[in-house]
Amino acid sequence: MKFSAVAVFALWYASLLWATTCQGADKLDYWIDPDTHLMWTAADNGSGLSWIQAQRYCRDLTLGGFHNWMLPSIDDLQRLVGGADSKSAYRIKAPIKLSGWQWSSTPGKQDGEGWALDFGDGARASVAAGDSGLNRALCVRHADRKASR
């Protein structure tokens, strides 16, 4: 039996979506949002980073065989806010482990600032790019892009 490349890709993509949505991020290193088709790391980096360090962390990340990770936009982060308050105090609609505020790729209100999001209350803040205390890197990539695997 011979399958076209499109059929093979469609089967691979469907199985990938099923595995990530049914099994959850605790079984994989990433989670695919079924609404946006964005692939998210299963956890943030776990410690404080400046805005530039966060961008570099995602750009240099190799996870799940993929190399094309990036910091998400503030709007992409905001789309993950939701769900009931959990024991971790973060409101997130995905099986993602968070340990602080999350940097975005979006430049802040003023030069030298970047937008960050607090999943505790869903608030965004324009934060000094050098601030690394509570800010983490949660990386994302487009799940439908096969490049860089």
Report the CATH number at residue 24: 3.10.100
Any domain includes 119: yes
- Which residue type occupies 138? L
Model pLDDT, residue 88: 56
Any domain includes 148: no
Any domain includes 62: yes
Any domain includes 103: yes
Model pLDDT, residue 58: 98
Cβ atoms within 10 Å, residue 73:
14
Model pLDDT, residue 92: 86
Which residues, at least 6 apart from 2, have a Cβ–Cβ distance to it below 8 Å?
Answer: none
Q: Encode the chain (149 residues) as per-residue pLDDT tens digits.
A: 454 544 434 434 433 343 333 334 445 799 999 999 999 999 999 999 999 999 999 999 999 999 999 999 999 999 999 865 555 567 888 899 999 999 999 999 999 999 999 998 899 999 999 998 899 999 999 987 665 55
Q: pTM here? A: 0.76
Instruction: Please list the alpha-helical segments (H only) found in 45-122.
Output: 51-60, 74-78
Model pLDDT, residue 57: 98
How many domains does the structure of the chain reveal? 1
Strand arrangement, sheet containing 135-136 = 123-128, 113-118, 101-107, 135-136
Model pLDDT, residue 144: 76
Any domain includes 149: no
Any domain includes 147: no
Any domain includes 136: yes
Model pLDDT, residue 22: 35
Any domain includes 69: yes
Domain that holds residue 70: 5-142
